[in-house]
Amino acid sequence: MARESAIHTVKEDPRKVEYAFLVGVQFPEQSAEESEELLAELAELTDTLGVAVVGRSVVRIRKPQARYLVGEGKADDVLDQAREAGADVVIFDDYLTPSQQRNWEARAELAVIDRQEVILDIFAQRAHTSEASLQVELARANYSLPRLRRQWTHLHRQGGGAGGAGGAATRGEGEQQIEVDSRLVRRRIARLKTQLAQVQKHRRTQRAKRLRRPVPVAAIVGYTNAGKSSLLNTMTNANVLTEDKLFATLDPTVRRVELPNKQPLLLADTVGFIRKLPHLLVEAFKSTLEETALADLLVEVVDVTSRSIEEEQTTTQEVLAGLGAGEKPSITVFNKIDLIEDDLVIRRLRRRHPDALFVSARTGEGLDLLAARLAESVAGSMQQVELLVPHSRYDLMARLHSAATVLREQYEDDGIHVTANVPPDLHAAVAEFLSPSPAGGIDRSAPPC
């Protein structure tokens, strides 16, 4: 049965496509292996949309060409291969400028798109909340704005056969329509920004409420399809969608977990990263990605079965640095070890990454070590205190049980004697109830953290 896709090329009458021919461009600074890996990743992206890959080609060039990105001779070779394979869409792994897309489609009479458009369409498929839908729609509108002329290239071809006067008149109609469409898209962008600002205001309110209950937050980050949502589900008994597909999760999910030392922790699942992630999507999803920048700790999940581990980790670090989270404390977790049959692979990775943990979110193997490492990391920011809390302050006791680790709680006539590990955000709230103890307490001479 033929499969339909959600590829929406920016055309007057978008058509469903079923068969794709993929094109990778190898520059002198790239290795053949890297080019093939990127093309394999593009094949995964294309499959995620439900489009069958019927052929692929890597074109080697010295420098980008203005008209088609590649030279005209190589362009003809690509089109011959695509037609012979029965493709109805050609997908480039590299970015095509709006003029290059127009030139390709005029030459090919096929849909011609790039990796950015594929990723935008996947995000459109995967957006389930109003915020994610607005973010994707905004990114797509910004992407389509400079490509409106593609909708009217057919007028140019029709006019050419109608004589000089007819051709000029038809092109004039097209230019006028482009101006009208451009105004409509700009208005739509402004409306989307307004709607998104309202939704993001609600997100900031929710985030502020979490910050008032000072429970540490660990953000789960990493390359797309590394198993981040599966890890969250297993550790918190959550029910977040998990699929063996790229970008299965777009909406951040926050779940509470209790660590082995009884310390509560919030785990936040985040959207996955990918090489050549469109800047428009990074900008549109900035408020969502802020969950990462505001976390106390990062858990970087890496797919141990990937053939491009180092490149994927580099991409993750680059995106984190762009979000201002590059220097945050982090734990590296290699996931999916249940899929590795050769122990030598794991041993080599352990030597290269001696501080990393190796787990299986599917079977649960190694997750006890991850929980212990999380407890150790969070405890490093905690301070043990002895408190004498008045019986009337059950609100403070509730906060301690919610955000701190209560080690001892004893009710006496003079109040509630408490030993607890408290996070920095609670220091000010408990300072007046510190009781002298050999265990020490918060340094009263220093300002609260």
Q: Is the pLDDT of residue 431 over 80?
A: yes
Q: What average pLDDT does range 441-448 have in this prediction?
A: 38
Under 8 Å between Cβ of 7 and 89 = yes
Taking Cα atoms as reference points, which of 297, 387, 285 lies closest to residue 333?
Answer: 297
Residue 272 exposure: Cα atoms within 13 Å on the Cβ side: 27
pLDDT given for residue 250 in this prediction: 59
Q: Which of 49-58, 290-299, 416-425 has the highest mean pLDDT?
A: 49-58
pLDDT given for residue 223 in this prediction: 92
- pLDDT top residue among 173 and 332: 332
C-alpha span between 404 and 421 (Å, rounded): 6
Q: Is the pLDDT of residue 242 over 80?
A: no
pLDDT given for residue 272 in this prediction: 85
Q: Is the pLDDT of residue 386 over 80?
A: yes
Going by pLDDT thresholds of 50, 70 and 90, the confidence category of residue 5 is: very low
246 burial via Cβ count (<10 Å: 0-12, 13-18, 19+): buried
- As a residue count, the chain comes to 449
Share of the chain above pLDDT 70, in %: 80
Share of the chain above pLDDT 90, in %: 45
Q: Is the pLDDT of residue 26 over 60?
A: yes
pLDDT given for residue 383 in this prediction: 80
C-alpha span between 113 and 95 (Å, rounded): 9
Going by pLDDT thresholds of 50, 70 and 90, the confidence category of residue 30 is: confident
pLDDT given for residue 212 in this prediction: 57
Q: Is the pLDDT of residue 7 over 70?
A: no
pLDDT in tens, 133-154: 898 899 999 998 888 765 444 3
pLDDT given for residue 442 in this prediction: 42
pLDDT in tens, 411-425: 999 999 999 888 777
- SS3 (DSSP) at 157: helix
What Cα–Cα distance (Å) separates residue 230 from each residue in 41, 298, 400? 21, 16, 30
Strands lying side by side in the sheet with 405-412 = 383-389, 415-422, 405-412
Q: Is the pLDDT of residue 83 over 50?
A: yes
- Long-range contacts of the stretch 70-76 (C-beta < 8 A, 24+): 70/25, 75/104, 75/107
Going by pLDDT thresholds of 50, 70 and 90, the confidence category of residue 222 is: very high
Going by pLDDT thresholds of 50, 70 and 90, the confidence category of residue 213 is: low
pLDDT given for residue 4 in this prediction: 41
Going by pLDDT thresholds of 50, 70 and 90, the confidence category of residue 163 is: very low
What Cα–Cα distance (Å) separates residue 348 from each residue in 190, 268, 354, 358? 52, 30, 10, 12
pLDDT given for residue 215 in this prediction: 79
Residues 6+ apart with CB under 8 A from 294: 207, 217
pLDDT given for residue 438 in this prediction: 43
C-alpha span between 442 and 436 (Å, rounded): 10
Mean pLDDT, rounded, of the chain: 82
Burial 135-158 (b: 16+ CB within 10 A, else e): bbbbbbbbbbbebbbbbbbbbeee
Backbone angles phi, psi at 364, to 5 degrees: 90, -5
Backbone angles phi, psi at 101, to 5 degrees: -65, -45
